[in-house]
Structure 1
């Protein structure tokens, strides 16, 4: 378990060995296959002059699982992940959880991790605003904190997928306007293209009239598979229980979990703080694009990455 050292007794639920075996079997991962593929990825990474030489097997294991046991998918994600770390310093540099500006920003609005996994092994994250003062809203730091949390939960406490609840209560046009297109583009790229997460659902609660219009427009531009994973709850939070068990959700969202969102926000921040040494060490692990060598066209597959091709399955 990843426990909270501040005496609250909170901890993140971890999957059992039986659960992990079941999840891995669902995507065709076997122990022998995992060892073989980790070695393959290590060798591949060592031949890429611009990519860091990662020796931690857990990194490769998580990328393989997140990419549904696709070697080429894992290579693509590893390439994009470490490139993003090099090209988006606003999210991947200066990742000190004790930074006062970051701490204050995450008190205002935060991606809060819920301790319990769902019956399917999904990790629930709630994006909630705790202070509506626009002068305290720092979207770049909000996104940085969210990506820091994603990195930590993936590496330290695995799940079978992520479900995000976006609570739009208190959001105004001023808040929306403060999120620039480059900010949004980069964070969406990280979540959808560079991070090996299984995004299992998006739930939107407390949306106003104009945000409902924007959500409807946005959904119309998405593919059916992703569009069907976005749920808007227009009559309060009660309908969340149709998708997420009440024992996972705090009372503010119609659940029975014993701790409220303020305590869960503080717990989430403590999780970041307790991994401070890890963040400070790994923030320098990124691509060196000055060393990137473009392969010959005939040596590259459709993703622009060399290596053996195994069919990619889409989650």
Structure 2
């Protein structure tokens, strides 16, 4: 992959802050990565085709819990069997991806919040709901997660979803199961933590949107959803303005400066190669309990949020 360091802004001070918050340091990380890589080599059903940077990020994202990293590594490879529509064949140069970029703008903001969270913004939704294919946007989200798992250094995520153009047609076409499946991937295979989901410009559609949220997200994540009326500034009680595009009242710059920029920083071949590596369930040891949680027969209800 190419260097995303020029886009994702992470200072040495921010990296040190994240490490302090999760209770780790350079020596501890090196010891953990070595141990986890050895554990991975001993798993007959898992490939060891991961960089040390991925293991380190997963360790940080798991708040330095070795057991949770092991769960995460198993999920990272095994969930591709369970959710292939989200986690494999992610051809960012394909016509599907070119289509979706015209109908909804998705972006990962380069600057961390003051509390070291990464901000993601979805805006400019096409008013015609037939042009919004949620599965493609879900797959695009996993592409961003893939990049952040080797490049980002943060304590989790803040998502801002602009509902200005969203209407009843979008709501009825929303796939509840897709959202649930994304949550599983998000918090297990990528070990990310959601600080807040902010629905902005939310007046006309808010009741329907909140109903979707309650059906789709786990109870704990529901408590991290916030709605903001058009013209209000309540979003900035949670996220500073320099992390939000100008069009949504922030000062970071125009939306087009950020939309799909993270996707542009990676090689098409790199991502397709990542898609090839998955667990071999025929070799999973009988005593391995991770498969009961994340494998083909895994249950969403068994998962919990950090």
Give the drift of 1:52.
1.3
Cα distance in 1, alignment partners of residues 293 and 138 from structure 2: 27
Q: Give the match for residue 49 of structure 1.
A: 44
| Greater Cα radius of gyration, structure 1 or 2 | 1
Does residue 291 in structure 1 map to residue 286 in structure 2? Answer: no
Give the drift of 1:76.
1.2
RMSD, aligned CA: 2.8
TM-score (norm 1): 0.82
- Structure 1: which 5+ runs fail to align? 4-10, 306-312
Paired residues in the alignment total 294
Native 8 Å contact 2:106 2:123 kept in 1: yes
3-state DSSP of counterpart to 2:89: coil
Cα distance in 1, alignment partners of residues 294 and 171 from structure 2: 36
Deviations 1:91-129 (A, max 9, x none): 122212110111211321243111222222221101224
Q: Give the match for residue 265 of structure 1.
A: 259
Does residue 157 in structure 1 map to residue 152 in structure 2? Answer: yes
Does residue 78 in structure 1 map to residue 80 in structure 2? Answer: no
Give the drift of 1:165.
0.5
TM-score (norm 2): 0.85
Native 8 Å contact 2:194 2:221 kept in 1: no
Q: Give the 4+ runs in structure 1 shifted more than 4 A.
A: 216-223, 302-305
Q: Give the match for residue 23 of structure 1.
A: 18
Give the drift of 1:192.
2.9
Q: Give the match for residue 168 of structure 1.
A: 163
Deviations 1:48-68 (A, max 9, x none): 221111352111101110000
From the superposition, tell whether residues 217 and 279 of structure 1 become closer, same or farther in structure 2 (CA, over 3 Å).
Answer: closer
From the superposition, tell whether residues 44 and 64 of structure 1 become closer, same or farther in structure 2 (CA, over 3 Å).
Answer: same
3-state DSSP of counterpart to 2:143: helix
Cα distance in 2, alignment partners of residues 176 and 152 from structure 1: 29
From the superposition, tell whether residues 314 and 188 of structure 1 become closer, same or farther in structure 2 (CA, over 3 Å).
Answer: closer
Does residue 281 in structure 1 map to residue 273 in structure 2? Answer: yes
- Structure 2: which 5+ runs fail to align? 296-303
Cα distance in 2, alignment partners of residues 33 and 138 from structure 1: 43
3-state DSSP of counterpart to 2:101: helix
3-state DSSP of counterpart to 1:114: strand
Does residue 200 in structure 1 map to residue 195 in structure 2? Answer: yes
Deviations 1:137-190 (A, max 9, x none): 111111000110111123123223211011122222322222333322211211
Cα distance in 2, alignment partners of residues 123 and 236 from structure 1: 24
Cα distance in 2, alignment partners of residues 55 and 282 from structure 1: 9
